Structure 1
């Protein structure tokens, strides 16, 4: 036994000293380096394209944040802020007290009764104003106002680098992005006037502000946005080149494995990006003072604006996993062969036509060209994901499911032609099926790469 082990060790050492072993190690090293770069580039490229297609596209951004107008947390935040701005600009308690004093002088008998009602009536007036504000932010008019203001906000952020901070949106030196409440207050004033609330005439023209975001490092963020916008096409090409290069430089016979590792690298990059978003969300919420924006409103803003990025990273993550799974199932490992053989046996069982009926000519033709057909199906699926303007994770999953169903249908329909001998000779895969070695789902031998 010791002698046999020694001979094995000597043979292994001799193989390592072969001229091709060093080149193989170098190829794998280069491939692994490119795979690491692929994961890092995927981690960077997806946010870069999100910035380019989402944050720097006014229509897309407005469409994303439009549902926030109906978000209870946002409506409650705006109602509270606007109410505080109105009550801060109008001395409601003073006006109420003066009115009660005038009433007491006109009717001395009730003066003692109404003298202490000023605080109560002041609070009721404040509640009435809050109710009017809440009704306004829940009305369709506020939906239109919210869309317009956010369109101006987007344009202000994009043009902030040039110092243009005019309009309903302003960006302070401390990185606060605020929305003007002037139009909201004017709408509330008109609403109160229609209700017959006399104090509405006392509300002055107020140009208050509501903080919707705060980033002390806003100048650096804007610089990063502009940089990513310019680099996004280059990052996309570099990501594709790294994926192709990692497979191309892999040793001969290992390119299939390198392809699967490329898919896993992309998925790993998306997993890191998901973790980074969780950390960034925590830091963002922790940096906003509660007195400037409530935690619930801040969460709604952050989650809504970044939802397209989350959707994209899920899509890319699913695509990366699908690549790795497809490569694994096409591999020569015992597990992959066992799975393929299981599919083949299941196909034989489902068709139930092995030797029982004459094989149709179209089945033989389908068996001869099934690989070309399956490759075309996969190519069409890839084009769908590439050409789909804004694909989601659901689009990727359904594309993969439909592709798998079509390929499975092709394999099942042509299965009788594969396992049934042709009258004038063996079927296209009959010889390979009888050959030694592992079999693929179609009954053929797993050929080396």
Structure 2
């Protein structure tokens, strides 16, 4: 084999190997980059978080969880006072269903939607400030404004006992200090990765396609790898949902937990399906263009000359 031909073949093999390695690494970074970007630019943004959570105020499972939690809290605070004022210990049982019915009615009002958004905004702001200020402390939030809004709405609806609901500025813990430190470290890593992982994936993919000996095949491989990364991300979201709901202490609140999880991961699932659709569409387009190019070359090739027949000998 001539030296020049051998060198050309070695160069082509090296380009194949380098291109495959770069494209494989780029496709591996795709799901992790999408996940990091979702956390950094989705969950960490208060406006987007509140917007994602807002529709849950009309979800029956979420409303049921709110009724159980808020109703239990009101009964815990109000019933002992009624026992003291009315001098009847059995008033607790009479008050409990009434309070629950009142809270259930309140969850169907427009004021509840406003209180829901205000509460979510307050909690998100408190957690975000704790992640950014670097202090080790238990994250708390003052829900007195939300409670006051609930009390005012119940009073406007002429609900008895509404004026007895206490509005106290109590620091409600939402995140313990030991969990905050671990969460802060993860948040700092994701904040950096949310920008650099997608950029790195794009640069690696572009470089892999540029150095490939056959760029159409490199684009096809990149597209299929991107679709595979989207499918992997979609599977990870489904597994995460299952594990998250399994960790909930109360099975009765799992429908509400599932609704919250689905609302928060809606953008991530949409990105996953977009990666799958885009990757498959580009791969199909590459195969189609390759097929058309082959047909064009075949039709442009000159027809082979017919084989000459036997010549007759002259007489």
Q: TM-score, normalised by structure 1?
A: 0.57
1:97 CA displacement:
6.8
Higher share in helix: 2
Instruction: Indicate conservation of the 8 Å contact 2:31/2:232, yes or no.
Output: yes
- Asked if 1:264 corresponds to 2:258, the answer is no
Instruction: Indicate conservation of the 8 Å contact 1:35/1:262, yes or no.
Output: yes
Q: Which runs of 5+ in 2 are unaligned?
A: 304-315
Distance 1:326 1:196, change over 3 A: closer
- Asked if 1:60 corresponds to 2:48, the answer is yes
Q: What corresponds to 1:126 in structure 2? A: 96
Distance 1:308 1:94, change over 3 A: same
Distance 1:311 1:172, change over 3 A: farther
**Residue pairs, 1:179-198, within 5 angstroms:** 181-190=143-152, 191=154, 195=158, 197=160
CA RMSD across the alignment = 3.6
Q: TM-score, normalised by structure 2?
A: 0.79
Q: Which runs of 5+ in 1 are unaligned?
A: 1-12, 100-117, 166-170, 342-428, 438-449
Q: Which has the larger displacement, 303-312 or 281-290?
A: 281-290
Q: What corresponds to 2:181 in structure 1? A: 219
Secondary structure of 1:159's aligned partner? helix
Give the Cα separation in 1 of the matches to 2:102 and 2:140: 22
Spell out, residue by residue over 1:353-403, the C-alpha distance to the aligned partner (whole angstroms, 9 max, x if none). xxxxxxxxxxxxxxxxxxxxxxxxxxxxxxxxxxxxxxxxxxxxxxxxxxx
How many matched pairs?
299
Distance 1:53 1:219, change over 3 A: same
1:35 CA displacement:
1.7
Instruction: Indicate conservation of the 8 Å contact 1:34/1:243, yes or no.
Output: yes
1:239 CA displacement:
1.5
Rg larger in 1 or in 2? 1
Q: What corresponds to 1:278 in structure 2? A: 238
1:194 CA displacement:
5.4
1:186 CA displacement:
3.5
Spell out, residue by residue over 1:162-202, the C-alpha distance to the aligned partner (whole angstroms, 9 max, x if none). 4589xxxxx975xxx776554454445442585362x4454
1:311 CA displacement:
0.8
Secondary structure of 1:195's aligned partner? coil
Give the Cα separation in 2 of the matches to 1:78 and 1:212: 16
Distance 1:139 1:234, change over 3 A: same
Q: What corresponds to 1:23 in structure 2? A: 11
- Asked if 1:94 corresponds to 2:83, the answer is yes
**Residue pairs, 1:16-415, within 5 angstroms:** 18-91=6-79, 94=83, 98=87, 119=90, 122-162=92-132, 173=138, 181-190=143-152, 191=154, 195=158, 197=160, 199-206=161-168, 217-251=179-213, 254-290=214-250, 294-332=253-291
1:123 CA displacement:
3.2
Spell out, residue by residue over 1:97-142, the C-alpha distance to the aligned partner (whole angstroms, 9 max, x if none). 725xxxxxxxxxxxxxxxxxx74x6434221111111122221112
1:328 CA displacement:
0.8
Q: Which has the higher contact order (CA 8 A, sep 6+)?
A: 2
1:160 CA displacement:
1.5
Distance 1:39 1:240, change over 3 A: same
Give the Cα separation in 2 of the matches to 1:97 and 1:226: 55
